[in-house]
Amino acid sequence: MTTSSSTKTLRVLGFMTGTSLDAVDMAVIETDGENIISFGPAGEMKLDAETRAIVEDAIEDALDWERDEEEPDSFEDARMAVADAHLAAALSFMAMHGVKSSGLDLVGVHGQTVLHEAPTPELPGRTVQLIDALSVAEGLGVRMAYDFRSADVAAGGQGAPLAPVYHAALVKKAGLSGPVAVLNLGGVGNITLIRADGGLEAFDTGPANGMVDLLVQSRGKKRMDEGGRLAATGTVDQAVLAAYLAHPYFATTGPKSLDRFDFSLDPVAGLSLEDAAATLTAFAAEAVALGVARCSEKPTKVVACGGGRHNPVLLAAIRERAGVPVTTAEDEGWRGDSIEAEAFAFLAARCLLGLPISFPGTTGVPEPMTGGRIVEPGEQ
């Protein structure tokens, strides 16, 4: 990581909405772009059904969107709906915690991912995060950093994962010595290895919560397998699991990235809901184990964060297979539900300061590079 020449401490509000479309997560941190100085308040606001439906329409259109076509009309509807949800969430959050716009130096917003295509030898990558950043900046009266992934993709990187530099800051603040791995269990799993020399490497391990979420939703149940209850009562289909693990993605080293739609539910279509959930949960755990094995240094521990750490069946399966101790964010004194929102606050600060947010070992860019764009209230 590059050392900042600035000693200015920035107070930043970060936002994150994941592929589960569950909520807008928010967190305030104080940082100089290199270190976490202090943690401010954190919270969430659930997304309403109407907003989810608008975004889901955009996601469906994104799956059919050809590169030579104009973007689907649904993207603009989703941009505005996501912006409205973020602004409402922020205003409520700030009122609840006594955070004033005048007390913030910056806001960092990720936006809602509707498409992520990793680069191939034939085609460059594509990544789309939707939000009308200007309308949120106007509503809050605070400058905003957004669009964190595009520059990385344009430079030939994967565009993901971007949280590793923040994971390294968390590990440093906790006083942990490398090699340590931080595992984020979102729709897709990703792992960051902070090596003994402080260097970073990272990649997506494979599907985490995303495929199980899609399974449950496709069968007319709830939005997720809460607490892993379905998987706990099912039986893993070993043949289907082996077929999933035979995918060429698992034979390659990082940097590499995935979309939650890169693997089909067709192989589990003939299984009961419980057996399908058990098989996909085992798949997520095996993918993590393969990822740990591909780290250049064996981590002394893996710290799990993201929504998947709340699933005891998934976490137990990872602990059984990983071959190293697995703790949770809370075990390390971290705010596990807020880490991604904190990360985009941290990345926003680095963007403003011109510091790198992606690295050769994390996204595959040729050299460390900054990213993101800054919008000021009143800009047109």
On whether the CB atoms of residues 228 and 312 are closer than 8 A, the answer is yes
CA distance 111 to 340: 12
Tokens of 254: 């990082």
Binding residues for ATP: 18-25
CA distance 315 to 332: 16
- Which residues, listed in sequence order, are joined to residue 45 by a DSSP beta bridge? 24
CA distance 22 to 18: 7
Tokens of 282: 């085992």
Q: Is 174 helix (H, G, I), strand (E, B) or coil?
A: helix
On whether the CB atoms of residues 110 and 15 are closer than 8 A, the answer is yes
CA distance 250 to 254: 10
On whether the CB atoms of residues 148 and 357 are closer than 8 A, the answer is yes
- H or E segment at 334? none
Residue 26: closest CA among 114, 90, 95, 120: 90
- The DSSP secondary structure of 229-290, one letter per residue, reads HHHHHS---HHHHHHHHTSGGGGSPSS----TTSS-SGGGTTS-HHHHHHHHHHHHHHHHHH
Structure-token match 């789309």, residue found? 128
> Which residue blocks in the chain are alpha helix, DSSP H?
49-63, 74-97, 133-140, 150-154, 164-174, 210-218, 229-233, 238-245, 273-294, 312-322, 339-353
Binding residues: 18-25
Residues in the chain: 380
Greatest Cα pair distance, the chain, in angstroms, is 59
